[in-house]
Amino acid sequence: MNMTTKGTISAVHDDDLVQFLEGLGVLAEVESGRAKCKFCRQSVDLENLAAVFPESGDVKFVCDRRGCLASLAEHRSEVRGKERSADQQCGASF
């Protein structure tokens, strides 16, 4: 699924998860087990889905394995660092 809008969602309640995934257009992918964890490539379904995030216009999934959650935290720190660096470079060029 291609995501073109920007925004931040910190959390989605379990009661709203199906509707949220449907809104992103990825519910069938998750329910069928075709969704894969970005970090371990295991199938992600409604039972083991821990996180959803945008990357390069796509929706990425993270399973609930401890190592994958740690990888997500590290990945997000790296992304934020790159964004800050790009912001600083843009500001320095003016």
pLDDT digits (tens, 9 = 90+) for 21-69: 999 999 999 999 999 999 999 999 999 999 999 999 999 999 999 999 9
pTM above 0.85, yes or no: no
Cα 37 to chain centroid distance, Å, stands at 10
Q: Residue 85 domain-assigned?
A: yes
Overall residue count recorded for the chain in this entry: 94
Q: Residue 2 domain-assigned?
A: no
What's the CA gap between 90 and 94, in Å, rounded?
Answer: 7
pLDDT score of 57: 92
Query: Minimum mean pLDDT among 46-50, 74-78, 85-89: which range?
Result: 85-89
Q: Residue 62 domain-assigned?
A: yes
3-class secondary structure, 60:
strand
Q: Residue 6 domain-assigned?
A: no
Q: Residue 7 domain-assigned?
A: no
Total of domains in the chain: 1
H/E segment holding residue 55: strand 49-55
Cβ neighbours around 78 below 10 Å, total: 10
Range of the domain at 36: 14-92
